[in-house]
Structure 1
Amino acid sequence: MPMEEIQTICICGAGTMGSGIAQVAAQAGFRTIQYDVQTNMLDKSKAAIAASVQQLVAKQKLTAEAAQAVQDRLRFTNNIADCKADVVIEAIVEKPAVKLALFQQLAAVNNAQCIFTSNTSSLSITELQEQVVHPERFAGMHFFNPATHMKLVEVVKGKQTAQYVVDTLYALANTMGKVPVHCNDAPGFIVNHIARPYYLEAMRLVESGAATMEQVDAVMEATGFKMGPFKLMDLIGLDINYSVSEIVWEALGKPDRLTPAAMQKTKVDAGELGRKTGKGFYEY
């Protein structure tokens, strides 16, 4: 499907990432469907998007009329039959079996032109597409948190992804006001592969007693990073960040240098996941 024919986008998953992507799509002028099996998650997403849009009005970045238009373009549903769109962006839990079950349902309700994408941050697009109905129309479209602010989008091509699909998604990301980058499927894609040493070395420094979390964050921020590694992990979610570390580590043959950090696992096991739980490496 060429970019100019895309009118409706469906985002599956109403968590923080899914909500952000839905707002981005609606602000870019697309009819936007947000799907989640949990109605309470949809209610939270609807409220969060409304609050975010109103903040833009207050900052004079959107007019009241434009804000209302964004709201009017959004539809929230827990019925999979409503998920008929030109492009589907999946942003649910990082479990292959759950994602694949969803894509089977989505394939059954969509036409032969629909493009299916996953916002996965680390799972193999090639391995996922081996088990979907239309592998040539399946690709990765990886946004970064918070999706409303972060410009980068990784457009990930699996081995069976048709070239027109990645070209269309690249153009779509541009239309959404993002900065897309093409990448072939690889463990962690580009950003999460490069970022593993950033997080892991920071935690090793603290585990060894060479520095405190506060010192590490302060030094990195003083060198130009907007956020130190510990603050960034808290923002992303320690559970998500740890899961990515495990996936990349295992996909690369478990090299010692990329071994997931014990201090992060302790936090995850304790349910201290960062900003979303009120406590991670820091308290909020």
Structure 2
Amino acid sequence: MSEPPARCTKSLNFGVYGWRKRCLYFLVLGLAVIVILNLALTLWLLKVMEFSFDGIGSLKVIPGGIELHGQAAILDALIASSVKSRRGSNLELESWTNFTASARSDTGQVLARFTLSEDKVECVAKAFRITDPNGELLFLSSNNRVVVGAKNLKITGVGGAVFEGSVQTPLVTSAAGHDLKLESATRSLEIRAPQRINIESSAGELSASSLSELRLTSREGSLKLEARSVYLRGLISNATTTSSSRRSGSASGSSSATRLEGVSVYQLCACEDGKLFLASPDALCQADHSLCH
């Protein structure tokens, strides 16, 4: 019979011993400390930033955008398609030095810009338009025209309104109790209408003064003066005709006829060119060359 094989009595042990084992323990301990610190910092940040399933603190994510409760400081540019306030709350935009809102095209070109600075408000756009809640136009400004759609345009400045070009309007009025003055300081003033011009003073006087000539011209119609009394002051008197008539022997009659109850009475005469002059009532409407020219 064969003998049974001999068994191996020597055992082999596998493991990490010595300094390698200590290094491994220190590495595991360091990783555990780092994980604990990382977890603690994460929990602290979650608590400080108020992270939740809805958002971060007062900033919540809602369908279609984000919702902010309270105040927010924007340190850089804010790009948004819509900024709204909560229902029943006001929206306040505040900035140091200046506030600028811009609208750009698809290529990045600035189409319109609104700037609110310390000393001015600047708007850069092709047109500036203001409407009321019903959509009615109140003010429109562009390169071609400026339209004021309000019922009345009131100028309260002491110097009034200064226009360098022409003004087209159907009505020019003054406030109650104040005068209306149309003045051109260094040039002419022209009022023109295709049909009718009506100048009316309901409770006071109407005055028109000129340094040289004042003309009232009607090309196809007539010139009418309707009043209870018409005064033409400063007309030249025909002294030559009066003196000649007195020398002809009718001095006594003219002296009695030229006065009516203490008031001097004259004839109103006209030259060929339309110039008016006064003459004594008992004399003829005759004038010399110097009077009618």
- More helix, by proportion: 1
Q: Which TM-score tier does this pair reach, normalised by the shorter chain?
A: under 0.3
TM-score in terms of structure 2 length: 0.17
Higher relative contact order (CA 8 A, sep 6+): 1
TM-score in terms of structure 1 length: 0.18
- More strand, by proportion: 2
Which one has a bigger Cα radius of gyration? Answer: 2
